[in-house]
Structure 1
Amino acid sequence: MPSDGIACNVVGAHDQLMHLRVASIFITLIGSSSGALFPVLAKRSPRLHVPKCLFDFAKYFGSGVIIATAFIHLLSPAISELSSPCLPSGWSDYPYAFALCLLSIFIIFIVEIVAFRWGTSKLKEVGKSHDAHGHNVGSHAAHGPESKVEQTSNLQKEVSIEKVESGQDHHYEHSLGDSATTQLIGVAILEFGVVLHSVLIGLTLAVNEGFKVLFIVIVFHQTFEGLGIGSRLAHLQLPAQLNWMPIAGAFLYGITTPIGIAIGLGIKGTYNPGSATASIVSGVLDALSSGILVYTGLVELFAHEFLFNQEMMESSNGKLAYAVGSMCLGCAIMALLGKWA
């Protein structure tokens, strides 16, 4: 039984600062969309002349943001929500937040295994070998690292042979298409976890009593997180017919928090974020989302961008320090924001 039934069942109208709460829909839309769309559009527009070092900063800074979000903004709240005194006593008998996070990690791991094995088998049918994460077509190196020069040389030889044999680059396009599938699966998994989180914090912002402080923090939070997801979208290497997907992914991220705020304002008279049902739903979704971002952060970002990336491992100490420092800065800022949100 809940230890404090009154606190768990009281629903506040939350009518304070109503004009600002409505305005927050549009302000967070601008912040989230700007953070996510800027890397994607800057990568495609040579007129902006964005230096490569700035792209690298956004990429690694965003990676740090994603990792901090997993632990500070998702797993920690999930633990609090699923240990709420409003929940039946059975919820305190087992660390459900950690268990759900663990379950999410294994589900994503299995999904990626199945997806990559399927993609590899499809390429074998047309007589090609394939790195599971599509690194043979110019992405970062992975499991069996090869240098960027070797990747380019092998790819050029492959394309030349195909053109001689068939008079066209159809097989290369097929390979690129399969690589695009694996890349899109990875980014879709990342975005799924981020989107769930964004809707929940939008809902929380709409009904929270301490609106002003939380609003300021969430605007920064969503902008930085958008920078993280946008930098991943910007570096996708897709065939021409799929070039719209990074923009669509950035736009989807941009609208999720405003949607959550709008839903929260619509149900503010009946929704109590401290109730047992709200705590269970929010805690379960936060725990599952944390597992997605933990897996993405440690496997896709730490391992593939650094440990298994031969170009990074053979780079100068300065470049490596710049990349690691950018990631640590993103992680530190997002972790600090966890003090207020």
Structure 2
Amino acid sequence: MFLTQDLSSLYYVFSDSVTSARCKRSELEQCRDESEALILKLVAMASILAAGLGGIAIPLAGKWRREGEAFMAAKALAAGVILATGFVHMLRDSWEALSDPCLGGNWNKFPFTGFFAMVSALLTLLFDFLATGYYQRREERGKIKDFVQENEALLLETGIVELVHAPQPHPHDVQTTLRHVVVSQVLELGIVSHSMIIGLSLGVSQSPCTMRPLIVALSFHQFFEGFALGGCISQAQFKTLSATIMSCFFALTTPIGVAIGAAIASIFNPYSPGALITEGILDSISAGILVYMALVDLIAADFLSKKMHSNFRLQIMCYCLLFLGAGLMSTLAIWA
């Protein structure tokens, strides 16, 4: 009896030690070098920052005519990038984190990745609807106020009836612009949350062997995401200050994540249950946001429009660029 109890105790101790070792996953076998890793983190911050700024600056600084063929083609490429980011990168990362053996318990018994992504997509739909309505009401009130102020003299001289014949803003144009505003803001939210996660993951790593290819992959990753976001910001027609703030916020998020990760690398265990759960949930939420935005607000909005249906050459070009963007972003999943 005592022998059985001793063997049971030994089994549990051995099991705990194996689980603990597996959850820590020391990088000693992966050419761990803290000094070289620190240099690579500085290189990563500069490279990713430059790539993000370059990607987002191209559509913002370009002299493309909005709603022209070149702009719609660029949006198709961006939509493919965003769709692949959600499906191939974020969902995969979330699945790996939430199905990790270190978590155990109920985390491996239910598909939390798909569940959180679904809830995120539905909440994005709700937020999309509410935000569009709010901005539309605010914009219409502002337009009416400006219209009355500009025609105040006419109002005093001839009365309100004459104002009916004066030019007024077209409600469809107002609603279209507001949709672009909401789309760009929600899209940035989904991209930024994922950018912070991948920055932290790179920052806490102490293995130069894994960091070198990751830096190159994340730089291209940031460039394509910046290009996609920049196209949406450009179409929303933000003021220069607002567009600059949104661009800088996107470009700085991943480098800041790398810096935070480097600062806490000695005390932070990215394979702890808390870290894995946080990463998995945030990635799945971001995936739901980006998949919804790509399919509903980017692909469906343009590819089902009258302009697309009436221009066969534009259809071929946009479909090719859509698949090209999705293919390039999916290929990056080999390294990042």
State the partner residue of 1:65.
Answer: 81
Asked if 1:340 corresponds to 2:335, the answer is yes
Whole-Å separation in 1 of the counterparts to 2:60 and 2:142? 32
Question: Residues 36 and 250 of structure 1 are in contact (CA less than 8 Å); yes or no, is this contact kept in structure 2?
Answer: yes
Asked if 1:39 corresponds to 2:59, the answer is yes
Question: Residues 11 and 270 of structure 1 are in contact (CA less than 8 Å); yes or no, is this contact kept in structure 2?
Answer: no
State the partner residue of 2:323.
Answer: 328
State the partner residue of 1:236.
Answer: 236
The residue identity in structure 2 corresponding to 1:95 is P
Question: Residues 39 and 230 of structure 1 are in contact (CA less than 8 Å); yes or no, is this contact kept in structure 2?
Answer: yes
Asked if 1:310 corresponds to 2:306, the answer is yes
Aligned length: 296
Whole-Å separation in 1 of the counterparts to 2:265 and 2:112? 28
Question: Residues 40 and 211 of structure 2 are in contact (CA less than 8 Å); yes or no, is this contact kept in structure 1?
Answer: no
Change in Cα spacing, 1:256 to 1:43, as seen in structure 2 (3 Å) is: farther
Q: CA deviation at 1:180?
A: 4.6
Whole-Å separation in 2 of the counterparts to 1:24 and 1:126? 45
Q: CA deviation at 1:58?
A: 2.7
Q: CA deviation at 1:4?
A: 2.1
Normalization by structure 2: what TM-score?
A: 0.79
The residue identity in structure 2 corresponding to 1:5 is S
Q: Deviations over 1:216-255 (max 9, x none)?
A: 11111111111111111111235xxx34322322221111
Normalization by structure 1: what TM-score?
A: 0.78
Question: Residues 187 and 232 of structure 1 are in contact (CA less than 8 Å); yes or no, is this contact kept in structure 2?
Answer: yes
Q: Deviations over 1:232-286 (max 9, x none)?
A: 1111235xxx343223222211111111111111111112222211110100000
Name structure 1 gaps, 5 residues minimum: 47-51, 129-161
Whole-Å separation in 1 of the counterparts to 2:142 and 2:221? 45
Q: Rg larger in 1 or in 2? A: 2
Change in Cα spacing, 1:43 to 1:314, as seen in structure 2 (3 Å) is: same
Q: CA deviation at 1:126?
A: 9.1
SS at match of 2:334: coil
State the partner residue of 2:20.
Answer: 5
Whole-Å separation in 1 of the counterparts to 2:227 and 2:140? 36
Asked if 1:271 corresponds to 2:268, the answer is yes
Change in Cα spacing, 1:275 to 1:318, as seen in structure 2 (3 Å) is: same
SS at match of 2:169: helix
SS at match of 1:94: coil
Q: CA deviation at 1:14?
A: 5.8
Question: Residues 11 and 271 of structure 1 are in contact (CA less than 8 Å); yes or no, is this contact kept in structure 2?
Answer: no
State the partner residue of 1:30.
Answer: 50
Percent identity over the alignment is 28
Q: Deviations over 1:99-157 (max 9, x none)?
A: 000000110111122233445556787999xxxxxxxxxxxxxxxxxxxxxxxxxxxxx
State the partner residue of 1:247.
Answer: 244
Residues 102-181 of structure 1 aligned to structure 2 (within 5 Å): 102-119=118-135, 165=163, 172=169, 180-181=177-178
The residue identity in structure 2 corresponding to 1:97 is T
Question: Residues 221 and 329 of structure 2 are in contact (CA less than 8 Å); yes or no, is this contact kept in structure 1?
Answer: yes
Whole-Å separation in 2 of the counterparts to 1:60 and 1:194? 17
The residue identity in structure 1 corresponding to 2:246 is G
Whole-Å separation in 2 of the counterparts to 1:127 and 1:321? 39
Whole-Å separation in 2 of the counterparts to 1:56 and 1:325? 12
Whole-Å separation in 1 of the counterparts to 2:259 and 2:166? 51
